[in-house]
Amino acid sequence: GKVYGGTKYVHSLVTLGTPHGNAPGPAFKGIEWCNREPLPIRGLAVAGVGSPGDSSGKLTQNAYAFCDPDGTGDGSEYDGDGLTPVFSSLFMEGDDVEKITLDGVTHYPWSDAGIWGDLFAPELAEEHRKGKPWYGDDDIVDQWVEPFLTRKK
């Protein structure tokens, strides 16, 4: 394909619970394409941990299974943020890529989604209602943005 040299317009890439690991199926073809070369710009990959695949509900287990590198796992063996397992969130590679894992952080503020959080991810919605933070909570943002902004290259 064409290359447009867009890296000169991008300073950094920050991803919060984004799957970066290769996995089978058409949904991961774009990720596979991105993984052909290391990230050419400054990057930060943030992963949440504390939502085990074997005890955080079917949405979590199935989402983790979807990210399984060989497509044979059932997702129960992984931990992550409730949607993306840690290994996939931290798969980003590059010379200037930093990786941070945040304990007890979920992918999304599930209980803020009204009835939808309870329908799609009841276990995660309940954890959020009980105070489990997500990537966008102010005190969690401070844990990933400050070190990234003040990091010396």
pLDDT tens column, 70-106: 999 999 999 999 999 999 999 999 999 999 999 999 9
Residues in CB range of 151: below 8 A, 6 or more apart? 98
CB 49 within 8 A of CB 117: no
The 10s digit of each residue's pLDDT in 45-62 is 999 999 999 999 999 999
Quote the pTM value.
Answer: 0.92
Q: How would DSSP label each residue in 37-60?
A: S--SSEEEEEEEE---TTTS-HHH
CA 51 from chain center: how many Å?
A: 12
